[in-house]
Amino acid sequence: MASLITNAPSAVNCPSYVGLRAPQRTFNLCVPQPATKSFPPRLFVVRASDSEFEAAVVAGKVPSAPPVPPKPAAPVGTPVVPSLPLHRRPRRNRKSPALRSAFQETSISPANFVYPLFIHEGEEDTPIGAMPGCYRLGWRHGLVEEVAKARDVGVNSIVLFPKIPDALKSPTGDEAYNENGLVPRTIRLLKDKYPDLVIYTDVALDPYSSDGHDGIVREDGVIMNDETVHQLCKQAVAQAQAGADVVSPSDMMDGRVGALRAALDAEGFQHVSIMSYTAKYASSFYGPFREALDSNPRFGDKKTYQMNPANYREALTEMREDESEGADILLVKPGLPYLDIIRLLRDNSPLPIAAYQVSGEYAMIKAAGALKMIDEEKVMMESLMCLRRAGADIILTYSALQAARCLCGEKR
Protein backbone atom coordinates (compact mmCIF):
# COMPACT_ATOMS: atom_id res chain seq x y z
CA MET A 1 0.00 0.00 0.00
CA ALA A 2 1.07 3.58 -0.44
CA SER A 3 1.59 6.13 2.34
CA LEU A 4 1.62 9.85 1.91
CA ILE A 5 4.73 11.10 3.71
CA THR A 6 5.09 14.78 4.14
CA ASN A 7 8.53 16.26 3.56
CA ALA A 8 9.08 18.14 6.77
CA PRO A 9 9.54 21.85 6.30
CA SER A 10 7.31 22.34 9.32
CA ALA A 11 9.89 20.45 11.41
CA VAL A 12 12.64 22.90 10.48
CA ASN A 13 13.06 25.96 12.63
CA CYS A 14 13.44 28.38 9.76
CA PRO A 15 14.40 31.44 11.82
CA SER A 16 17.53 29.61 12.89
CA TYR A 17 18.48 29.18 9.21
CA VAL A 18 19.01 32.80 8.29
CA GLY A 19 17.99 33.61 4.74
CA LEU A 20 16.36 30.26 4.06
CA ARG A 21 12.75 29.64 3.12
CA ALA A 22 11.04 26.35 3.76
CA PRO A 23 9.94 24.70 0.50
CA GLN A 24 6.25 23.99 0.14
CA ARG A 25 6.45 20.60 -1.52
CA THR A 26 5.18 17.14 -0.77
CA PHE A 27 6.24 13.83 -2.17
CA ASN A 28 4.29 10.63 -2.80
CA LEU A 29 6.62 7.81 -1.82
CA CYS A 30 5.81 4.12 -1.84
CA VAL A 31 7.04 2.54 1.34
CA PRO A 32 6.45 -1.21 1.76
CA GLN A 33 4.59 -2.01 4.95
CA PRO A 34 4.00 -5.34 6.66
CA ALA A 35 0.46 -6.60 6.16
CA THR A 36 -0.27 -6.77 9.87
CA LYS A 37 1.35 -3.51 11.03
CA SER A 38 0.97 0.15 10.26
CA PHE A 39 3.70 2.74 10.91
CA PRO A 40 3.47 6.47 11.49
CA PRO A 41 4.63 8.78 8.70
CA ARG A 42 8.41 9.23 8.43
CA LEU A 43 9.69 12.80 8.49
CA PHE A 44 12.64 13.99 6.38
CA VAL A 45 14.47 17.06 7.79
CA VAL A 46 15.69 19.61 5.31
CA ARG A 47 19.26 20.74 6.10
CA ALA A 48 20.97 23.65 4.44
CA SER A 49 24.20 22.97 2.58
CA ASP A 50 27.55 24.48 3.60
CA SER A 51 27.41 26.82 0.63
CA GLU A 52 24.01 28.18 1.74
CA PHE A 53 25.36 28.90 5.23
CA GLU A 54 28.41 30.59 3.76
CA ALA A 55 26.24 32.65 1.44
CA ALA A 56 24.12 33.78 4.38
CA VAL A 57 27.22 34.88 6.33
CA VAL A 58 28.62 36.71 3.30
CA ALA A 59 25.26 38.49 3.00
CA GLY A 60 25.66 39.72 6.55
CA LYS A 61 23.18 37.32 8.12
CA VAL A 62 25.54 36.02 10.80
CA PRO A 63 24.18 33.44 13.26
CA SER A 64 24.04 34.50 16.88
CA ALA A 65 26.70 33.40 19.40
CA PRO A 66 27.38 34.16 23.08
CA PRO A 67 28.58 37.71 23.69
CA VAL A 68 32.17 38.62 24.48
CA PRO A 69 32.65 37.88 28.20
CA PRO A 70 33.10 40.92 30.40
CA LYS A 71 36.54 41.66 31.80
CA PRO A 72 36.71 40.37 35.39
CA ALA A 73 36.63 43.19 37.92
CA ALA A 74 39.59 43.80 40.20
CA PRO A 75 38.93 44.18 43.92
CA VAL A 76 38.11 47.62 45.26
CA GLY A 77 41.28 49.56 45.98
CA THR A 78 43.38 47.95 43.25
CA PRO A 79 45.70 50.65 41.84
CA VAL A 80 45.29 51.58 38.19
CA VAL A 81 48.68 51.20 36.53
CA PRO A 82 49.93 50.99 32.94
CA SER A 83 50.77 47.54 31.66
CA LEU A 84 54.38 46.55 32.01
CA PRO A 85 56.15 46.55 28.61
CA LEU A 86 56.80 42.80 28.64
CA HIS A 87 57.24 40.84 25.43
CA ARG A 88 57.31 37.55 27.28
CA ARG A 89 55.03 36.61 30.15
CA PRO A 90 55.78 33.01 31.27
CA ARG A 91 52.53 32.92 33.25
CA ARG A 92 50.61 32.68 29.98
CA ASN A 93 51.70 29.04 29.72
CA ARG A 94 50.50 28.32 33.25
CA LYS A 95 47.05 29.89 33.14
CA SER A 96 44.95 26.72 32.92
CA PRO A 97 45.19 23.06 33.93
CA ALA A 98 45.13 22.03 30.28
CA LEU A 99 48.08 24.24 29.38
CA ARG A 100 50.05 23.24 32.46
CA SER A 101 49.53 19.61 31.58
CA ALA A 102 50.48 20.15 27.95
CA PHE A 103 53.76 21.83 28.81
CA GLN A 104 54.75 19.62 31.76
CA GLU A 105 58.40 18.68 31.26
CA THR A 106 58.69 15.78 33.72
CA SER A 107 56.40 12.81 34.16
CA ILE A 108 56.28 9.99 36.68
CA SER A 109 54.65 6.58 36.59
CA PRO A 110 54.67 3.37 38.65
CA ALA A 111 57.21 1.98 36.18
CA ASN A 112 59.74 4.44 37.59
CA PHE A 113 59.56 2.90 41.08
CA VAL A 114 61.63 0.17 42.67
CA TYR A 115 59.98 -0.99 45.92
CA PRO A 116 62.40 -1.79 48.79
CA LEU A 117 61.07 -4.64 50.92
CA PHE A 118 62.40 -5.95 54.24
CA ILE A 119 62.20 -9.69 54.81
CA HIS A 120 62.83 -12.02 57.73
CA GLU A 121 62.55 -15.70 58.59
CA GLY A 122 59.36 -15.35 60.63
CA GLU A 123 55.78 -15.89 59.55
CA GLU A 124 54.40 -12.65 60.95
CA ASP A 125 54.81 -9.18 59.43
CA THR A 126 56.58 -7.07 62.05
CA PRO A 127 55.99 -3.27 62.01
CA ILE A 128 59.07 -1.05 61.85
CA GLY A 129 58.55 1.67 64.43
CA ALA A 130 60.58 4.40 62.73
CA MET A 131 59.01 3.72 59.33
CA PRO A 132 55.20 3.83 59.59
CA GLY A 133 53.59 1.59 57.00
CA CYS A 134 56.71 -0.56 56.53
CA TYR A 135 57.20 -4.07 57.88
CA ARG A 136 59.67 -6.87 58.11
CA LEU A 137 57.68 -9.23 55.92
CA GLY A 138 57.49 -12.96 56.32
CA TRP A 139 59.25 -14.21 53.21
CA ARG A 140 56.71 -16.96 52.44
CA HIS A 141 53.43 -15.07 52.81
CA GLY A 142 53.56 -11.39 53.71
CA LEU A 143 56.17 -10.63 51.06
CA VAL A 144 54.23 -12.43 48.33
CA GLU A 145 51.06 -10.52 49.24
CA GLU A 146 52.89 -7.17 49.24
CA VAL A 147 54.42 -7.88 45.84
CA ALA A 148 50.96 -8.75 44.49
CA LYS A 149 49.60 -5.41 45.73
CA ALA A 150 52.46 -3.55 44.06
CA ARG A 151 52.02 -5.37 40.76
CA ASP A 152 48.30 -4.55 40.78
CA VAL A 153 49.19 -0.84 40.46
CA GLY A 154 52.07 -1.19 38.02
CA VAL A 155 55.09 -1.52 40.32
CA ASN A 156 56.93 -4.57 39.02
CA SER A 157 60.41 -3.96 40.42
CA ILE A 158 61.49 -4.67 44.00
CA VAL A 159 64.73 -4.72 45.97
CA LEU A 160 65.20 -7.11 48.89
CA PHE A 161 66.80 -6.33 52.26
CA PRO A 162 67.11 -9.21 54.76
CA LYS A 163 66.99 -9.21 58.56
CA ILE A 164 69.48 -11.96 59.37
CA PRO A 165 69.40 -13.82 62.73
CA ASP A 166 72.32 -12.81 64.97
CA ALA A 167 73.40 -16.44 65.24
CA LEU A 168 74.17 -16.46 61.50
CA LYS A 169 76.28 -13.30 61.55
CA SER A 170 80.06 -13.51 61.52
CA PRO A 171 83.10 -11.22 61.09
CA THR A 172 83.47 -12.33 57.45
CA GLY A 173 79.74 -12.40 56.61
CA ASP A 174 79.82 -15.90 55.12
CA GLU A 175 76.02 -16.22 55.31
CA ALA A 176 75.86 -13.62 52.50
CA TYR A 177 76.67 -16.30 49.91
CA ASN A 178 74.76 -19.22 51.40
CA GLU A 179 72.88 -20.56 48.36
CA ASN A 180 70.00 -21.59 50.62
CA GLY A 181 70.05 -18.40 52.67
CA LEU A 182 67.12 -16.07 53.17
CA VAL A 183 67.66 -13.94 50.06
CA PRO A 184 68.29 -16.77 47.54
CA ARG A 185 65.29 -18.70 48.89
CA THR A 186 63.12 -15.62 48.58
CA ILE A 187 64.25 -14.91 45.04
CA ARG A 188 63.42 -18.48 43.98
CA LEU A 189 59.98 -18.25 45.60
CA LEU A 190 59.14 -14.95 43.92
CA LYS A 191 60.42 -16.02 40.51
CA ASP A 192 58.34 -19.18 40.74
CA LYS A 193 55.19 -17.15 41.40
CA TYR A 194 55.96 -14.04 39.32
CA PRO A 195 58.44 -14.93 36.56
CA ASP A 196 58.39 -11.42 35.07
CA LEU A 197 59.02 -9.65 38.39
CA VAL A 198 62.25 -7.59 38.27
CA ILE A 199 64.27 -8.41 41.40
CA TYR A 200 67.10 -6.18 42.56
CA THR A 201 69.35 -7.42 45.38
CA ASP A 202 71.65 -5.67 47.83
CA VAL A 203 75.30 -6.71 47.68
CA ALA A 204 77.02 -5.80 50.95
CA LEU A 205 78.09 -7.55 54.12
CA ASP A 206 76.48 -5.34 56.78
CA PRO A 207 73.29 -7.46 57.27
CA TYR A 208 75.51 -10.54 57.69
CA SER A 209 78.40 -9.01 59.64
CA SER A 210 78.69 -9.35 63.39
CA ASP A 211 80.43 -5.96 63.26
CA GLY A 212 77.62 -4.25 61.31
CA HIS A 213 79.97 -2.89 58.66
CA ASP A 214 79.76 -3.30 54.90
CA GLY A 215 83.10 -5.09 54.83
CA ILE A 216 85.47 -7.26 56.82
CA VAL A 217 86.92 -5.37 59.80
CA ARG A 218 90.58 -5.77 60.71
CA GLU A 219 91.54 -5.83 64.40
CA ASP A 220 92.64 -2.18 64.22
CA GLY A 221 89.21 -1.16 62.89
CA VAL A 222 90.22 -0.80 59.24
CA ILE A 223 87.67 -2.03 56.68
CA MET A 224 89.54 -4.43 54.40
CA ASN A 225 88.82 -3.60 50.75
CA ASP A 226 90.04 -6.41 48.50
CA GLU A 227 89.12 -9.21 50.90
CA THR A 228 85.62 -7.76 51.17
CA VAL A 229 85.30 -7.62 47.39
CA HIS A 230 86.14 -11.31 47.26
CA GLN A 231 83.19 -12.05 49.55
CA LEU A 232 80.90 -9.74 47.59
CA CYS A 233 81.61 -11.60 44.36
CA LYS A 234 80.48 -14.86 45.93
CA GLN A 235 77.38 -13.12 47.28
CA ALA A 236 76.45 -11.68 43.87
CA VAL A 237 76.91 -15.05 42.14
CA ALA A 238 74.67 -16.77 44.73
CA GLN A 239 71.98 -14.16 44.11
CA ALA A 240 72.28 -14.50 40.34
CA GLN A 241 72.02 -18.28 40.57
CA ALA A 242 68.74 -17.85 42.48
CA GLY A 243 67.33 -15.66 39.70
CA ALA A 244 68.19 -12.06 40.58
CA ASP A 245 67.85 -9.66 37.65
CA VAL A 246 70.01 -6.84 39.03
CA VAL A 247 72.69 -7.05 41.73
CA SER A 248 73.35 -3.80 43.55
CA PRO A 249 76.67 -3.35 45.36
CA SER A 250 76.04 -0.79 48.13
CA ASP A 251 79.29 -1.39 50.00
CA MET A 252 81.42 1.38 48.39
CA MET A 253 84.55 -0.76 48.22
CA ASP A 254 86.99 0.26 45.49
CA GLY A 255 86.97 -1.93 42.38
CA ARG A 256 83.99 -4.00 43.33
CA VAL A 257 81.96 -3.31 40.16
CA GLY A 258 84.67 -4.70 37.87
CA ALA A 259 85.22 -7.69 40.12
CA LEU A 260 81.49 -8.46 40.25
CA ARG A 261 81.19 -8.18 36.48
CA ALA A 262 84.05 -10.61 35.98
CA ALA A 263 82.68 -13.06 38.56
CA LEU A 264 79.17 -13.00 37.08
CA ASP A 265 80.42 -13.42 33.53
CA ALA A 266 82.69 -16.30 34.54
CA GLU A 267 79.65 -18.15 35.93
CA GLY A 268 77.52 -17.53 32.84
CA PHE A 269 75.48 -14.61 34.19
CA GLN A 270 76.27 -12.08 31.49
CA HIS A 271 72.58 -11.15 31.44
CA VAL A 272 72.52 -10.05 35.10
CA SER A 273 72.81 -6.27 35.46
CA ILE A 274 74.81 -4.29 38.02
CA MET A 275 73.30 -1.23 39.66
CA SER A 276 76.20 0.39 41.45
CA TYR A 277 75.71 2.62 44.46
CA THR A 278 77.98 5.12 42.75
CA ALA A 279 77.57 8.09 45.07
CA LYS A 280 76.56 6.72 48.45
CA TYR A 281 77.14 9.32 51.13
CA ALA A 282 77.91 8.80 54.81
CA SER A 283 74.54 10.26 55.66
CA SER A 284 72.54 10.66 58.86
CA PHE A 285 69.35 9.88 56.91
CA TYR A 286 69.88 6.09 57.17
CA GLY A 287 68.86 5.62 60.81
CA PRO A 288 65.41 4.02 60.37
CA PHE A 289 66.80 1.57 57.79
CA ARG A 290 69.42 0.30 60.20
CA GLU A 291 66.72 -0.20 62.81
CA ALA A 292 64.74 -2.23 60.29
CA LEU A 293 67.66 -4.60 59.66
CA ASP A 294 69.30 -4.35 63.10
CA SER A 295 72.52 -3.57 61.23
CA ASN A 296 74.02 -0.58 63.04
CA PRO A 297 77.83 -0.67 63.17
CA ARG A 298 79.06 -2.18 66.44
CA PHE A 299 81.66 0.56 66.60
CA GLY A 300 82.74 3.64 64.67
CA ASP A 301 81.08 4.87 61.49
CA LYS A 302 81.24 4.28 57.74
CA LYS A 303 83.10 7.42 56.74
CA THR A 304 86.20 5.62 55.46
CA TYR A 305 84.26 4.04 52.63
CA GLN A 306 81.09 6.09 52.14
CA MET A 307 81.41 9.58 50.64
CA ASN A 308 81.69 12.86 52.52
CA PRO A 309 78.37 14.77 52.26
CA ALA A 310 80.39 17.93 51.63
CA ASN A 311 81.87 16.57 48.38
CA TYR A 312 80.54 17.17 44.88
CA ARG A 313 83.37 16.58 42.38
CA GLU A 314 84.26 13.27 44.01
CA ALA A 315 81.03 11.83 42.61
CA LEU A 316 82.49 12.23 39.12
CA THR A 317 85.48 10.10 40.11
CA GLU A 318 83.18 7.35 41.39
CA MET A 319 81.01 7.64 38.28
CA ARG A 320 83.95 7.25 35.88
CA GLU A 321 85.28 4.23 37.75
CA ASP A 322 81.89 2.50 37.79
CA GLU A 323 81.32 3.20 34.10
CA SER A 324 84.73 1.83 33.13
CA GLU A 325 84.22 -1.29 35.27
CA GLY A 326 80.93 -2.22 33.62
CA ALA A 327 78.10 -0.78 35.75
CA ASP A 328 74.71 -0.74 34.01
CA ILE A 329 72.94 1.71 36.35
CA LEU A 330 74.39 4.44 38.59
CA LEU A 331 72.68 5.18 41.91
CA VAL A 332 72.77 8.22 44.19
CA LYS A 333 71.92 7.82 47.88
CA PRO A 334 70.27 9.64 49.68
CA GLY A 335 67.89 11.26 47.22
CA LEU A 336 66.25 14.61 47.91
CA PRO A 337 69.20 16.25 49.77
CA TYR A 338 71.46 15.25 46.87
CA LEU A 339 69.54 16.48 43.83
CA ASP A 340 72.67 18.27 42.64
CA ILE A 341 74.56 14.97 42.53
CA ILE A 342 71.74 13.30 40.59
CA ARG A 343 71.87 16.11 38.05
CA LEU A 344 75.70 15.94 37.93
CA LEU A 345 75.61 12.25 37.02
CA ARG A 346 72.72 12.76 34.61
CA ASP A 347 74.65 15.45 32.72
CA ASN A 348 77.88 13.46 32.58
CA SER A 349 76.83 9.87 31.95
CA PRO A 350 74.69 8.16 29.31
CA LEU A 351 73.81 5.37 31.76
CA PRO A 352 70.46 5.18 33.57
CA ILE A 353 70.46 7.05 36.88
CA ALA A 354 68.76 5.74 40.03
CA ALA A 355 67.96 7.69 43.17
CA TYR A 356 67.26 6.21 46.58
CA GLN A 357 64.69 8.08 48.67
CA VAL A 358 66.04 6.71 51.92
CA SER A 359 64.38 5.78 55.19
CA GLY A 360 65.03 9.14 56.86
CA GLU A 361 63.38 11.03 54.00
CA TYR A 362 60.40 8.67 54.14
CA ALA A 363 60.11 8.92 57.93
CA MET A 364 60.18 12.72 57.95
CA ILE A 365 57.31 12.95 55.47
CA LYS A 366 55.32 10.37 57.43
CA ALA A 367 55.93 12.12 60.76
CA ALA A 368 55.02 15.58 59.47
CA GLY A 369 51.93 14.13 57.79
CA ALA A 370 50.81 12.41 61.00
CA LEU A 371 51.11 15.74 62.83
CA LYS A 372 49.04 17.46 60.10
CA MET A 373 51.94 19.82 59.45
CA ILE A 374 51.89 18.94 55.73
CA ASP A 375 49.67 17.18 53.24
CA GLU A 376 51.52 13.87 53.27
CA GLU A 377 50.36 12.62 49.91
CA LYS A 378 51.07 15.87 48.06
CA VAL A 379 54.52 16.24 49.63
CA MET A 380 55.32 12.61 48.87
CA MET A 381 54.39 13.01 45.20
CA GLU A 382 56.23 16.32 44.92
CA SER A 383 59.39 14.83 46.39
CA LEU A 384 59.29 11.94 43.90
CA MET A 385 58.68 14.32 40.99
CA CYS A 386 61.69 16.39 42.11
CA LEU A 387 63.91 13.31 41.98
CA ARG A 388 62.68 12.62 38.45
CA ARG A 389 63.18 16.24 37.43
CA ALA A 390 66.76 16.17 38.70
CA GLY A 391 67.45 13.30 36.31
CA ALA A 392 66.58 10.01 38.01
CA ASP A 393 65.23 7.35 35.67
CA ILE A 394 64.18 5.08 38.54
CA ILE A 395 63.54 5.77 42.20
CA LEU A 396 63.94 3.35 45.08
CA THR A 397 61.25 4.48 47.50
CA TYR A 398 59.33 3.01 50.42
CA SER A 399 56.38 5.04 49.13
CA ALA A 400 56.24 3.05 45.88
CA LEU A 401 52.93 1.33 46.62
CA GLN A 402 51.25 4.41 48.06
CA ALA A 403 52.51 6.65 45.25
CA ALA A 404 51.47 4.17 42.55
CA ARG A 405 47.99 3.97 44.03
CA CYS A 406 47.83 7.75 43.97
CA LEU A 407 48.89 7.82 40.32
CA CYS A 408 46.26 5.21 39.53
CA GLY A 409 43.59 7.29 41.22
CA GLU A 410 42.99 4.99 44.18
CA LYS A 411 42.07 6.24 47.62
CA ARG A 412 44.63 5.92 50.37
pLDDT at 154: 97
| Share above pLDDT 90 across residues of the chain, in percent, rounded to a whole number | 82
Cis peptide before 334 (omega within 30 of 0): yes
Q: Please write the tens of the pLDDT for every residue from 203-261.
A: 999 999 999 999 999 999 999 999 999 999 999 999 999 999 999 999 999 999 999 99
Residues serving a catalytic function are 280, 333
Residue 296: what pLDDT?
74
* pLDDT reported for residue 297: 78
pTM of the model: 0.84
pLDDT at 298: 78
If one compares 18 and 99, the residue with the highest pLDDT of the two is 99
Predicted pLDDT at 6: 41
Identify the helix (H) or strand (E) that includes residue 318: helix 314-325
Chain segment 25-56, per-residue pLDDT in tens: 444 444 455 555 566 666 666 677 999 999 99
353: CB partners within 8 A, 6+ apart? 329, 330, 331, 332, 342, 345, 346, 391, 392, 393
Round to whole Å and give the CA distance between 132 and 369. Answer: 11
pLDDT, position 312:
98
In the prediction, which pLDDT does 412 show? 45
Q: Which residues contact 128 (CB under 8 A, 6 or more apart)?
A: 118, 134, 135, 136, 288, 291, 292
Nearest Cα neighbor of 245 from 258, 236, 254 is 236
Give yes or no for residue 326 having a pLDDT over 50: yes
Q: Average pLDDT for residues 148-161, to the nearest whole number?
A: 98
Would you report the helix, strand and coil content of the chain in percent, each value rounded to 5? Answer: 40, 15, 45
* Whole-angstrom distance, CA of residue 128 vs CA of residue 115: 16
CATH architecture observed for domain 110-408: Alpha-Beta Barrel (3.20)
Beta-bridged to residue 158, according to DSSP, are 115, 199
Q: How far apart are CA 384 and CA 365, in angstroms?
A: 12
- What's the CA gap between 228 and 209, in Å, rounded? 11
By residue count, the chain amounts to 412
Give CA–CA dist 93/66, Å, rounded: 26
What is the rounded average pLDDT for all residues in the chain? 90
Ranges of each domain in the chain: 110-408
